[in-house]
């Protein structure tokens, strides 16, 4: 799996790499929260609290960023 942006790959995914996101799947169920580690034209590799998860792009309904509150400090 590479981080190359190829024809047909959405251009917003590179901007989300390293950020915490929520992915909702077309099939429903629980949303998946994690950080994008790698991606290619067909898949996104997420680092979640339980480990790595490979998600096929065709299974994704929505992707949204998780905004941390202002003044939030992760190392408190």
The better pLDDT of the pair 1, 16 is held by: 16
Identify whether 17 is part of a domain.
Answer: yes
Residue 23 falls inside a structural domain: yes
List the alpha helices (DSSP H) in the chain: 13-16
pLDDT interval class at 60 (50, 70, 90): very high
Q: Is the pLDDT of residue 36 over 60?
A: yes
Q: In the chain, how many domains are there?
A: 1
CATH number for 53: 2.30.30.100
Domain limits at 43? 13-65
pLDDT at 76: 46
- Average pLDDT of 22-48? 94
Has residue 72 been placed in a domain? Answer: no
47 domain-assigned: yes
More confidently predicted of 76 and 27? 27
Strands of the chain (E only): list them: 20-25, 32-39, 43-48, 51-56, 60-65
């Amino acid at each position: 799996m590479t981080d190359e942006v190829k024809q047909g790959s959405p251009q917003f995914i590179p901007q989300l790499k390293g950020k915490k996101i929520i992915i909702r799947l077309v099939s429903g169920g629980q949303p998946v929260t994690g950080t994008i580690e790698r991606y290619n034209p067909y898949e996104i590799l997420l680092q979640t609290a339980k480990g790595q998860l490979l998600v096929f792009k065709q299974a994704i309904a929505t992707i949204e960023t998780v905004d941390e509150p202002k003044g939030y400090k992760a190392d408190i």
